[in-house]
Amino acid sequence: MVKDLSVALCGLTLKNPVIPASGTFGFGLELADDMDINVLGGISLKGTTREARYGNPTPRIAECPGGMINSVGLQNPGIDVLVNEKVPSLRKVYDGCIIANISGFSLDEYRECCAKADACEGIDLIEVNISCPNVHNGGMAFGTSAESAAEVTRTVKAVCRKPVFIKLSPNVTDIVSIARACEDAGADGLTLVNTFLGMRIDIHRRKPVIANKMGGFSGRAIFPIALRMVYQVAHACRIPVMGCGGVASAADVIEMMMAGATAVQVGAENLRNPFACPEIIEELPVLMDGLNINTLQEIIGTV
């Protein structure tokens, strides 16, 4: 029997639930010559701010057992280049769901960037990053309290007609209360989780490995924690969840969906294997067959 991988997400139909996570697939075009990107259910573009940013000094990457730390620091060309150049170029060659990932240092910046993303024809969905651990006085600062998370949500919802997902930080005491605050403030969905704040020290040099000292830890090691948070939030909220964190296989995708995720983002695994997403998508029908699953939609939140 032909397997149905499609999922419904806020009025959009994704051909499958597999989406490269923001920051792990550039602006989509970087890999367009190396693979058929049209197999991807969606692409979450690199985090974008109002102004162009160079990001943090190098080293920006530190390896860990079961994962890695990154501190890229939101290097991006700015919202105008995103909506005028990056998205139109990608739209020409990609027919799936294009997700703009917006970051900011003030409510004004979130409002302005989201309004521009909303007005950009090629963008299907807006993901608001209130969880970047690599910039000061911005990003994660908005995502670590229910009040400020709700405030960002209200601010961007006021200027967006497209579905708005808030991307949550796991670096909080109670992710459910923040998720509920975003839902109450009008969020159409939630993406979770972003990276865990982490650190490594080079014991020979007696210095942090990362130039910015700390960074976001991601990779296979965080999968059980991310899955637990997706499970908790999906069961506490009515809005859809995109599950993210340590996903590396088709089995992980199924597990995230059973925990409550409608779509699943693949992050750090892309850095180990640039072909991770197409390989997972190819593997899904085989695994579904073995699990007696005919449509992926039917397994969402079944556990």
Partner 1 sequence: MNKSLYTIAENVLIAPRTYRLVLVPLSFRAEPEGRSREICHGEFVDIAIPGFYLRRPLSICDREDGKLTVVYRVVGEGTKALAEMTAGTELDVLTGLGNGFDPESCREEALLVGGGLGVPPLYLLAKELKARGKKVTAVLGFNKAEEIILADEFRAVCDEVLVSTVDGSVGVKGFVTDAIAAANPTYDYFYTCGPMVMMKVVCQALDGPGEASLEERMGCGAGFCYGCSIQTKNGPRRVCKDGPVFKKEELLW
Closest CB to partner 1 among residues 200, 228: 200
CB of 225 to partner 1, least distance (A): 17
CB of 297 to partner 1, least distance (A): 30
Closest CB to partner 1 among residues 35, 251: 35
97 is catalytic: no
As a whole number of angstroms, the distance between CA 85 and CA 89 comes to 6
Closest CB to partner 1 among residues 12, 64: 64
Closest CB to partner 1 among residues 25, 94: 25
For helices 107-119 and 146-157, the axis angle rounded to 10 degrees is 40
Cβ neighbors of 40 (< 8 A, separation 6 or more) are: 16, 18, 19, 20, 94, 96, 277, 278, 281
Structure tokens at 175: 């992710």
Tell me which residues touch partner 1 (CB under 8 A): 23-26, 30-31, 33-34, 46, 54-55, 58-68, 70, 72, 75, 219-220, 270-275
As a whole number of angstroms, the distance between CA 132 and CA 232 comes to 21
Measure the CA angle with vertex 48, ends 85 and 174; round to 5°. Answer: 150
CB of 212 to partner 1, least distance (A): 12
The one catalytic residue among 113, 132, 244, 277: 132
Strand-pair category, 12-14 with 7-9: antiparallel
Structure tokens at 265: 């983002």
CB of 39 to partner 1, least distance (A): 15
Active-site amino acid positions: 132
